[in-house]
Structure 1
Amino acid sequence: MGKVYLIGAGPGAADLITVRAARLLSTADVVLHDALVEPAMLDYAPGDANFIAVGKRSGQRSVAQHLISKLLVDAAREHDVVVRLKGGDPMLFGRGDEEMRALEAAGVEYEIVPGITAALAAAVTLRRSLTLRGVARSVALVTHSPAADTTEIREHANADSLVFYMGRDSAPEIARGLIEAGRAGATPVAIVEACSTARERTLALTLAALADGEAQTWFDPTQPSLLMIGDAFAL
């Protein structure tokens, strides 16, 4: 039985992966990687490794989570080093827990290697800290689906700095929910797309403008994006 490494690939740029992650990738027999992992990052792995794309993209056909877990277990039964390369950090919106439980149930040894989550890299892009003395003392990292109602949004409205992952399609609903919960329409919003890559773009607007749908024609639906909301992100 081999060992599985659940590795955080970071926010995008290939050189933002950790030294430990790069070292482990260089020994991999099998690499199961997310769709958002930059192709250059796969160069850390041996050329004869078996690369399996298992990424999920909004609105596109993708590999079901239970099948990814089965692939990990099956690969560990045939190979010494199996790497599950996950965008950002495995422990934040990465379904790392589901994969850990599947590996434990199958008796497969595993190790987790943290990665830089996109919110931290996006703050660097904006040159704005997630926390700011006298302005922002709390941060909420939130994921939101179009199917969720505004009750979920209002639960997070009191955080000084809000970062919404996977919020592109429901951005107007998120903004309206926050305004209904008492956030001012003039609250600054920064959107960071394709963070840390050569395709990176940013957009600055207000919560009211986001609620009116002004960002929807700006988004590139093929790229990941973050909504950064709060006074700390005033540009």
Structure 2
Amino acid sequence: MSRISVRGFAVASATAVTAVGSVVGVASGSTAQNNDVEATASGATLLADIPAGQQAQVQTASLTQQAETMAIAADASAKKDAEEAARKAAAETAVAKKKEAAEKAERAERAEREARERAEAEEAASRSATRDASSFAVQSSYTIAEVQAMARQIVPADQFQCFSNIVDHESSWNYRADNPTSDAYGLVQALPGSKMASAGADWATNPATQIKWGLGYMNDRYGSPCGAWNFWQANHWY
């Protein structure tokens, strides 16, 4: 029996006691009390009927209140669970985004490092593919083909065509070319020719020495033979 049902039972019991009291009063009273007994008995019957109805109403109200209380508690619990799930999902999303950003940064760094390593490897390969002018055997004379073969081994491969274009225009690959109107001399027409002594004392007769000096000049003044060739095309000198 519920708390409210017990209370309803107490009300019914109190009513019953009232009814009994009325009956006892009639038994010990006067004739005049007979009317009261009848009235009281009639009233007792009505009171006896009321508690049962009240008890049902109270029980119904109690069940309704209990249902409402349970519904409110269920709603609060569901709301709390939903909020907790939302917080958990937000935290997981934040962790996932942070991880994704870190992985993206790592991939970019790795790609940059690999690109740098490739560039360094290519540069090293280019340097290793070239020969120093002093490594060529000295001859009394050289053909154009021999001079060009020397240049291919001294000048980096990606710069050779630009270097060749300049030499074509300056001396037609004649390492003894001497400009009659100036002191320009050699494959790259150094002015004066004696400048090439910085690359070797045999600058006047060794095309390898001239190629070495010409390559250094183009790199120092224009950044590369291709830079020198770009300038030459615009000005017809370099």
The alignment's TM-score, normalised by the length of structure 1, stands at 0.17
TM-score by length of 2: 0.17
Which structure has the highest helix share of the two?
2
| Greater per-residue strand proportion | 1
**Relative contact order (alpha carbons < 8 A, sep ≥ 6): 1 or 2 greater?**
1
From the CA coordinates, give the structure whose radius of gyration is larger.
2
